[in-house]
């Protein structure tokens, strides 16, 4: 059983390419089913997809790596060559280390951010529901969650980190003299928008509105902040009312187009608009960025802002890496124990099977003696002696047949196994 990971992230692939491989949570199960069915031998598999990364973790035959690269490229509508230029393939301990670093927030755009851990747990749950999560990946991810917990409790990796949403507020304060004078529109009602609304609400803007595909979820979030709720279809006609727009939905196509923004600017008499697109794929057409009176930021544009204070956390990173290294060693030891060629698990299973065979044979013999009317005490005595003889036969035979040179070593091993001090 080999463990490996194939993926792209914010460090290796541009935003628009990442958008081609973005999967909503409800797409993970059917996508995993399609992937596994595309291979002759189905591996264990888990698919993690966020705005910063899409990663497929697998346990199975190493020969499946290349077909997986082909499958993922086809799924995203690009050539294998293009995907290979931006992808990373990690095997064995490197794959485990990567999973542990991702869970701990060390591989995130926002160093130490905690949201990724919840996203990983959601991905693992989806894989389990799809029947794609076997023993090996279960161990990998449960250990990654434990390592992440230890990193957060034992280091200050998350101290002073700036989230994407907090960075958006910081940029808005640089554009507008006072947040209290602006009207803010939030597009979507997911976790990221909830965080953004929380940060902006702390600055008490003039008004806040939430546009969502389903009014019920939008109303629930709007109720927390005293915000107005509206449908997505209303955005083109009302866009000019807002000074700031923060968008993050799971839409596969842009929700706010160039034409809608141009019309809004005209109605605003070209007063500036601040726009943040936190979605992957994009919610706001890329061409909007070229408009003179629009300040549009994507998740990648926010990278330099969220890196502020990163140097102050390098000591915590070093501590976290030590914890991660120990976790990797432990996982690889567990994996090696299960290897039929080098591990102890197969041998342990064989020993248990042999012991069960001996026990069954003696039970059959004892039942026959009881059926013949033999006294119970005599039958129990015969059963215990027979079982003891079977268990010791190989060991005693080895001691008698061992040559003089290795007899001492064999005797020492046998003593350690059978005569160890019980105290």
Nearest to 45 by CA among 31, 32, 28, 55: 32
Compute the distance between CA of residue 9 and CA of residue 254 in angstroms, rounded to an integer.
21
Catalytic residues, by residue number, are: 51
Pairing between strand 207-212 and 88-91?
A: unpaired
Structure token pair of residue 339: 């290897």
Strands (E), 50-97: 53-60, 88-91
User: What DSSP element (H or E) covers 46?
Assistant: strand 44-49
Q: What is the DSSP letter of 420?
A: -
Structure token pair of residue 18: 């990442």
First to last CA, the chain: 39
Compute the distance between CA of residue 147 and CA of residue 12 in angstroms, rounded to an integer.
25
What number of CA atoms fall less than 13 Å from residue 120's CA on the CB side? 27
């Amino acid at each position: 059983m080999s463990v490996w990971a194939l993926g792209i992230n914010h460090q290796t692939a541009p935003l628009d390419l990442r958008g081609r491989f973005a999967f909503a949570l409800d797409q993970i199960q059917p996508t995993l089913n399609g992937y596994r069915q595309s291979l002759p031998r189905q591996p264990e598999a888990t698919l993690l997809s966020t705005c910063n990364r899409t990663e497929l973790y697998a346990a199975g035959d190493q020969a499946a790596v290349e077909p997986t690269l082909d499958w993922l490229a086809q799924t995203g509508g690009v050539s294998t060559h293009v995907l290979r230029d931006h992808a990373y393939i990690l095997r064995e301990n490197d794959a485990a280390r990567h999973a542990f670093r991702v869970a701990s927030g060390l591989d995130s755009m926002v160093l130490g951010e905690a949201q990724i851990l919840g996203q990983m747990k959601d991905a693992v749950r989806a894989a389990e529901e799809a029947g794609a999560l076997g023993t090996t990946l279960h161990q990998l991810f449960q250990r990654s969650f434990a390592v992440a917990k230890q990193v957060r409790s034992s280091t200050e990796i998350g101290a002073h980190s700036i989230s994407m949403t907090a960075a958006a507020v910081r940029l808005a304060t640089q554009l507008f003299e006072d947040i209290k004078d602006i009207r803010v529109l939030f597009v979507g009602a997911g976790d990221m928008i909830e965080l953004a609304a929380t940060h902006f609400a702390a600055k008490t803007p003039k008004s806040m509105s939430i546009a969502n595909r389903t009014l019920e979820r939008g109303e629930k979030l709007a109720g927390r902040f005293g915000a107005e709720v509206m449908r997505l279809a209303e955005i083109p006609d009302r866009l000019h009312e807002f000074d700031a727009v923060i968008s993050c939905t799971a839409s596969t196509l842009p929700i706010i187009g160039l034409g809608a923004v141009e019309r809004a600017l005209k109605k605003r008499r070209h007063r500036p608009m601040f726009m943040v697109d936190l979605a992957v794929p994009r919610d706001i057409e890329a061409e909007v960025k070229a408009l003179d009176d629009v300040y549009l930021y994507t998740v990648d544009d926010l990278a330099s802002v969220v890196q502020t204070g990163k140097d102050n956390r390098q000591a915590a990173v070093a501590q976290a890496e030590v914890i991660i290294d120990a976790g990797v060693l432990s996982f690889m030891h567990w994996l090696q124990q299960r290897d039929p060629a080098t591990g102890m698990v197969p041998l342990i299973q064989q020993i248990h099977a042999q012991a069960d065979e001996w026990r069954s044979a003696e039970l059959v013999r004892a039942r026959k003696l009881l059926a013949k009317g033999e006294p119970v005490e005599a039958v129990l005595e015969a059963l215990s002696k027979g079982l003891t003889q079977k268990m010791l036969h190989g060991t005693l035979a080895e001691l008698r047949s061992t040559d003089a040179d290795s007899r001492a070593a064999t005797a020492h091993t046998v003593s350690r196994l059978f005569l160890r001090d019980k105290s």
